[in-house]
Amino acid sequence: MAAMHAKPARDVTGYGANPPKVSWPGNAALAVNFVINYEEGGENSPINGDTHTEVFLSETPGGTPRQIRDPNMESLYEYGSRAGVWRLMRLFKQRNMNYTCYAVGKAVEMNPSVIATMHADGNEIASHNYRWIDYNEVGERRTREHVKMSIEAIKNACGVAPVGFYCGRVGPNTRRAIWDEYKKLGLPLLYDADSYSDDLPYWMEVDGEGLLIVPYTLDQNDMKFAVPPGFSSPDGFFTYLKDAFDLLLEEGRNGSPKMMSIGLHCRIVGKPGRAAALARFMDYVKSKQDVWVTTRRDIALHWKKHHPYTGGAVAKL
């Protein structure tokens, strides 16, 4: 029986025992990127034409999808767009720390002032596709339409098209659709973040060209408050982030600098009790002198300049 979806080719080896010699700006031992996922309004809901309500990443894990609107789930998500996102933005602004926003196009259209404010504050707005849904259930044509719509929504909100893309719940054609639609629009796709496979950026080959992958994280992520086994308390969240940070910083100081991503959701860590733990971690990061807190865009630009694509990538699309 023929294997389905034989492409893209996988690279399970990576850098192995010999990662590249990395020199972050300012001789930093670690690059740290915080990501605010802005999804509220783009989730599954009959009001968006979906067959069922959202049940993923909320205060009620393990719920059953409904075929009618769910006011409780809608309001749990709305906390993120009404209150949580502004709390997170204040925490970062008070500490003069930049971040990347993964912005869902539909959510942007419903509340463009959030994205406009983030951009005005000097942060990066990357695309999180047009809807926060499982693209395994979406056909290729609609996937391509959503890629274009997400770019347009972000550009309309802040005046700049996103140079980075993270879909999240990807389908087999998602990365190809993103690559192709950026080409058609004549826009630069600086990086793709739909990977969890490394602590450093790496290249994959698409049509003879290099596509930079800047890996993301699902463990250093507040989503673990909503999925088992996960964080049962804000202290557990803080401790996990601190332990990961300390080990990566030690590796960097010993001559092998890495990057660390921290995933945040407005409706989850935007709640006061969890936001307090995030603030403690941010202050801990800020207390270290040899750390580069930055955006994924700037990590990608640095990598492209100092580690350009030279061909021969094992991973191919």
105, 73, 102, 74: which is closest to 88 by C-alpha? 102
Instruction: Assess if residue 20 is contained within a domain.
Output: no
Instruction: Assess if residue 19 is contained within a domain.
Output: no
The tally of CA atoms less than 13 A away on the side-chain side of residue 191 is 29
Query: What CATH code is carried by the domain that includes residue 254?
Result: 3.20.20.370
Instruction: Assess if residue 202 is contained within a domain.
Output: yes
Instruction: Assess if residue 18 is contained within a domain.
Output: no
pLDDT at site 3 = 42
Which of 74 and 33 is assigned the larger pLDDT?
33
Q: Domain total for the chain?
A: 1
**In this structure, how many other beta carbons lie within 10 angstroms of the beta carbon of residue 169?**
16
Instruction: Assess if residue 225 is contained within a domain.
Output: yes
Mean pLDDT calculated for residue range 215-223 = 96
Instruction: Assess if residue 88 is contained within a domain.
Output: yes
Is a pLDDT exceeding 90 seen at residue 138?
Answer: no
Preceding amide of 25 cis, omega within 30? no
Mean pLDDT lowest for which of 137-146, 175-184, 186-195? 137-146
User: Which residues span the domain enclosing 245?
Assistant: 28-55+64-306
Instruction: Assess if residue 13 is contained within a domain.
Output: no
pLDDT at site 1 = 34
Confidence of residue 100 (pLDDT cuts 50, 70, 90): very high
